[in-house]
Structures are given as C-alpha cells and as structure tokens.
C-alpha cells in the first residue's frame, strides 16, 4: 500500500492488510519457541510505525527517536523497580505521558529548524538522554542497566511467562491498537496535511495551513507511541539497558524503516521483521561480521529498491497489472 493519505483514498481495510495479523497469530501457534523474539519484533514494529508517522508522512528526518523509546523504557522500568508500580497498563500510560511531554518540549524547539540543523538537534537530544541515563546510576542503574523490574499480571489475570506467550499476545494487541490509530491518522485530513507538508512546505503555508502546529502534533504523537514501544520492551524483558538510548538505536530504526519502505505504514512492519531476523541469523553464523550482512542488504535496497522492500512488491504488482492490460 503506497502512501495512502489523501481525499481520494479509500479508507476501507483491504484484505492484504489483514495478512500481517493472520501471520502474527499463526506464529503464536506454529512457532511457540520464538515468542519472546516475536514480542521483540512486534515492539520494534511499533517503534518503527511511530517513526514512519514523522519521517514517512511529515518528512521530519530524525536521528534521535530513541530518546522517546528510551524514556518510555526507563519510565516503565523505574516505576516498576524503584517506585513499586507494577501494573503493566498503568506503566504503559505513564511511559506514554512521559514520552509525550518530552516530545512536545523538544519538538517545540527542533521543529522551528530545518535540514541539517534539525537532524543535529535530534541527535543531540538522544545523546543528552543517553548521558543522563548513564550518569543517574542510583535511579537508572547506569551502565549496568536497570534490573529488578517486576510486572504484575495484565488486568490481574495474565501473568508474563518464561516462554513469552503473554508478552507476545500483549505486544500484538498493543501493536494492533496503535496500527489502527496510525492508520486512521494517515487517512484523515491531518494525514493528508502531513503529506502536503512533506511534499511542499511553502505551498502549505500559502494555503493557510498552520504547518508548525501540525508538525508538533505529529511529533508528539510519534513520541508517545515510541514511549509505549519502549515500555513494552521493558515489560517483556523485565530489564532496561543503555542500549535503548542514543544514536545507535535511532540509526538502526531509520535503517529498518528504509529497508521496509518509508511512508507506507507497512514498511514499518516489513523492515524490523527482516532486519531483526537477519541480525539474529547472521549473528549466529558470523558473530563478528554480522553487521556486514546487514550493510550489504541495505546497500542493495538503496541502490535497487529506493522504495524499500515494499517498493519492490509495488513495482512487481505494477508490472503484472501492465502485462494484464497488454
């Protein structure tokens, strides 16, 4: 599905859009030994979905999106390990609020800038967050990470188990809920306006659109979703490490999204899935050189599939349609 925003777009959910969900449910029954890994993939899909909203639709290039993911992860972790709040849904809500506040505060500054300045500011915000987490050892655990995170059963009924069954279904439900929200946003006039801003900001000003306000809303929403994704990671791992913050996870996320296809909603599904599976397989085969394999995949995508893996699928479908018409 390529860039669905617009007044002429049909918002009805197509049958192909159900495929990821059918596949995800099938994995639960068919691959029970991979459910913890599956929960991690689902978390990163949610994280990538939040990035797609601002990078793919609004055209905000960021290398600091992990600030929100990390803040969400640490908020959930600190509240559970240090404050004694263990309810997973309360922790998710707290992480969402914290990330939203950081989103609106940092967005208010960085969205007044463009291009390289904006990119550097996003990077700086992520770096500052990483350093705070690193130095505030009594609260965050510093370089050793935050352990002792215990999570209560969901709704008092569903306990997080060792095999990741609850975690997988919990992440899947959360992803489904936020996918539905993001999809609504993308198809709404707001989504069309974001696409307009990405396509031609001066023209959006010339038609009287409050560009800055729209970007700030989108940025805050994306930060909120990233915060929720971070909290999900904490809840499923019951641990938070510094690797959720800084340039590396931000850059990795951009790579995942580019791999899947930017500005397509489902690129955020395909990218993390392929990236994390490739990482898992390559790291087992070539523990020291697995980044080389990821790099090669990315180079091939950038050279031959500018629209990401979904772009290839689009091109093949278009070719098939043309053949059918001929």
Partner 1 sequence: MTLALETRALCKSFGALTVADRVDLRLEAGVRHALIGPNGAGKTTLVNMITGRLAPSAGQIFLAGEDVTRLSQAARVRRGLGRTFQINALFRDMSVLDNVALGIAERDGVGGRLWRPASAHVRVCAEALELLAMFGLTDDADRRVLDLPYGKQRLVEIAIALGLRPTVLLLDEPAAGVPSLESHRILESLERLPASIAILIIEHDMDLVFRFAQRITVLVQGEVLCEGAPAEIADDPRVRRVYLGERRG
Helix (H, G, I), strand (E, B) or coil at 154: strand
DSSP state of 63: S
278's tokens? 């490739």
Closest approach, Cβ 201 to partner 1, in A, equals 10
> 242 and 133 in contact (C-beta within 8 Å)?
yes
Closest approach, Cβ 222 to partner 1, in A, equals 13
Residue 40 or 214 having the CB closest to partner 1 = 214
Closest approach, Cβ 307 to partner 1, in A, equals 12
Report CA dihedral (282, 284, 44, 112) to the nearest 10 degrees. Answer: -60
Separation of CA 240 from chain center: 17
Residue 70 or 263 having the CB closest to partner 1 = 263
CA proximity to 186, closest of 1, 310, 53: 53
CA–CA gap between residue 185 and residue 4 (Å, rounded): 11
Residue 153 or 189 having the CB closest to partner 1 = 189
Closest approach, Cβ 178 to partner 1, in A, equals 14
> 174 and 49 in contact (C-beta within 8 Å)?
no
Helix (H, G, I), strand (E, B) or coil at 207: coil
Residue 185 or 278 having the CB closest to partner 1 = 185
Closest approach, Cβ 5 to partner 1, in A, equals 7
Residue 71 or 221 having the CB closest to partner 1 = 221
Query: Do you know the residue count of the chain?
Result: 326
Residue 79 or 310 having the CB closest to partner 1 = 310
CA–CA gap between residue 301 and residue 299 (Å, rounded): 5
Closest approach, Cβ 9 to partner 1, in A, equals 6
DSSP state of 80: I
Residue 215 or 268 having the CB closest to partner 1 = 215
Helix (H, G, I), strand (E, B) or coil at 44: helix
Closest approach, Cβ 57 to partner 1, in A, equals 12
190's tokens? 């707001």
Q: Which residues form the interface with partner 1 (CB under 8 A)?
A: 3, 5-11, 184-185, 187-193, 195-196, 199-200, 202-211, 213-214, 217
């Amino acid at each position: 599905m390529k860039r669905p925003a617009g007044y002429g777009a049909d918002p009805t959910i197509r049958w192909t859009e159900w495929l990821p969900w059918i596949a995800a449910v099938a994995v639960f029954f068919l691959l029970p030994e991979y459910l913890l890994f599956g929960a991690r993939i689902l978390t990163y899909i949610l994280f990538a979905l939040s990035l797609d909203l601002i990078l793919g639709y609004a055209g905000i290039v960021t290398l600091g999106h992990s600030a929100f993911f990390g803040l969400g992860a640490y908020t959930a972790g600190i509240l559970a390990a240090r404050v004694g709040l263990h309810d997973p849904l309360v922790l998710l809500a707290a992480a969402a609020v914290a990330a939203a506040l950081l989103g609106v505060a940092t967005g208010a500054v960085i969205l007044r800038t463009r291009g390289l300045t904006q990119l550097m500011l996003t990077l700086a915000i992520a770096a500052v967050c990483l350093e705070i987490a690193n130095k505030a050892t009594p609260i965050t655990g510093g370089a050793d990470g935050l352990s002792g995170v215990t999570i209560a059963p969901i709704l008092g009924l569903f306990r997080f188990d060792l095999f990741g069954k609850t975690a997988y279904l919990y992440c899947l439900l959360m992803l489904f809920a936020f996918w539905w929200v993001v999809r609504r946003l993308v198809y709404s006039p707001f989504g069309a306006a974001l696409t307009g801003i990405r396509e031609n900001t001066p023209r959006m000003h010339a038609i009287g659109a409050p560009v800055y306000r729209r970007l700030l809303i989108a940025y805050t929403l994306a930060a909120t979703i990233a915060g929720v994704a971070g909290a999900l990671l904490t809840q499923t791992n019951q641990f938070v490490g510094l690797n959720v913050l800084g340039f590396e996870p931000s850059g990795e996320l951009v790579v995942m999204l580019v791999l899947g296809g930017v500005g397509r909603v489902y690129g955020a599904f395909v990218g993390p899935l392929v990236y994390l599976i490739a990482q898992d397989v390559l790291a087992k085969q070539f523990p020291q050189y697995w980044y080389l394999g990821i790099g090669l995949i990315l180079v091939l995508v950038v050279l031959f599939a500018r629209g990401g893996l979904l772009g290839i699928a689009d091109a093949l479908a278009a070719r098939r349609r043309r053949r059918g018409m001929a």
